[in-house]
Structure 1
Amino acid sequence: GKSFRYSSNLNQHQMIHTGERPYKCTECGSSFQASSSLLIHQRTHTGERPFHCTDCGKSFNLNSSLVRHRRIHTGERPCKCGECGKSFIRNSDLIIHKMIHNGERPYNCSECGKSFRTSSVLLLHQRTHTGERPFRCTDCGKSFNQNSHLIRHRRIHTGERPYKCGECGKSFNQRSHL
């Protein structure tokens, strides 16, 4: 068994085994084992994003998301592939990358049989069959099949240029324009 220094930590741990989730969201009814998890969840309803990037002003609901985001500005890529040496900001991206080396593509399109490394890429692919474009710009009404495309498009309206050249200081609305 596992041992704990404080009884509160033991009580918290025991909820894993009992399934007890005493902290309930009054907004949607979701329940949680820890009060801290409820507080984080409630930010989805309030829109609160208390963690701000000092470089670009982008805000996040979790400090860990800000820490990961900061790696874009610092260039830090701590997750390295032992096979080819390629580095990544997130471990989840490294895991997906490793599938290149082992050839794993576990997600198959039922429409055309094409296979993919992740379920999210399969979902994007399936939109080529359905024509679904669920991400709509509230300013001009243009629709997109990926949220990232909408975010990039919105910069036309906002004038945001989050990618700054370290050499000359000029800013761009797309990383590929650096």
Structure 2
Amino acid sequence: MSTRLVILGLLKERPLYGYELKGIIERYMGDWTSIAFGSIYFALNKLTKEGLVREIAVQKEGSRPSRRVYEVTEAGKDAFTRLLRDVWSKDERTFFSFDVGLFFLRELPKKERIAYLQNRIESARRSLTYLDGHETEMLAKPMVPPLASAIFSHSRYHAQAELSWLEELLREMQEGLYE
């Protein structure tokens, strides 16, 4: 659903071709969404078949491959609004593959468990450091809306909570609580 929502939302702003969509998603949304390049073209084809977007031009520059330019239809604008409302009206439970690994963690030697946790703690710290610098950089770009600050804040709160939880888990594991 997020791929459809993103594509329809971006095409509401202006007509774009697939590679432009990819660039915008990577540059401005890459920190908080994971939309694969191939899924963009798959979604564009599906949205076109559904009548939510339409191809308005095929551009050719020199020896480069031709590119199809898309715009959103009125039905696509309606679908975008429905998808956006769905995002805001549904609670989303997040599942972490890490938790499955945690369930079986006792199968590894204690020294190895502790090393994995220490690595995750360092990774969480790096993520927080990255977020701080990257937020400033991104918010300085004119295409990034001010509300993106809330997205960075959301990511930061999750990263801080993860770091605190990992530090507590490491301490408890070092104390032998999960033997």
Q: TM-score, normalised by structure 2?
A: 0.26
Higher strand fraction (1 or 2):
1
With the length of structure 1 as denominator, give the TM-score of the two structures. 0.27
Quick one: higher RCO (CA 8 Å, sep 6+), 1 or 2?
2
